[in-house]
Amino acid sequence: MNKTKMVLSILFCIILIIQPITSYAYTYASIGYVPVYRQPSDLTCWSTCVTMAASYFNGDTKNRQADIQLDAFPGDPYRSDDQYMSATIKEMTNGKWITQGIWNTHLYNSYLSKTAVLYQLNNLVPIISQTVQRGAPAFHEVLIYAYDETINKLSINDPASGQKTIDYDYFKDNPDYYWTRTVINS
């Protein structure tokens, strides 16, 4: 009987030790290193996000921003309308700038749930999200590369301000802006 109690006690201790480790694995997701690029001017956050995703999938640090902008909008790469997210989708879908990994992308006209964020990142796919400034037609794209559900934080590459960690609920909807659209791998 003592031997059985000892074996059960050891098994119970092992379960107690392993449980937090396995729980954490399911609540934290990261695709790993994604090069950070700064947008060279206003209205180029979309091409900067595509450049970051392309560098991630191609395993390089080549800056493709100008080429992507000119390819998407020949003759007028800095146009100021809502075509940027559509251009992002076009470039990622046709595989011209991203030669491996992401092929079945589509534009989701909403923010992603926490579960959807974890799913995308666990499948090693960066997420490009678009936010809209409240009271103004100002759009901005950022790349999400990690999420920690235990502290409810997203890790993002922001073309305007660099890498940062931000609360998921705040990023989704706050007094200044809200998350409106997302490029996902379907």
pTM: predicted TM-score of the whole model, two decimal places:
0.79
Whether 6 is in a domain gets the answer no
CATH code, 55: 3.90.70.10
- 45-58 vs 65-72: helix crossing angle, rounded to 10: 120
**Integer Cα distance of 150 and 50 in angstroms:** 29
- Structural domain total, the chain: 1
Domain with 107, as residue range(s), is 24-185
Whether 16 is in a domain gets the answer no
pLDDT tens, residue by residue, 83-140: 666 666 666 655 666 655 455 677 788 999 999 999 999 988 899 999 998 988 778 9
Query: What backbone phi and psi angles, to 5 degrees, belong to 73?
Result: -135, 75
Phi-psi map region of 162: left, alpha, beta (phi>0 left; psi -120 to 50 alpha): left
Whether 115 is in a domain gets the answer yes
Whether 14 is in a domain gets the answer no
Q: Which residue has the tokens 């879908």?
A: 93
Q: Which residue has the higher pLDDT, 64 or 98?
A: 64
21 has pLDDT over 50 = no
Strands (E), 28-161: 28-30, 105-108, 127-133, 139-148, 153-158
Average confidence (pLDDT) over 152-168 = 96
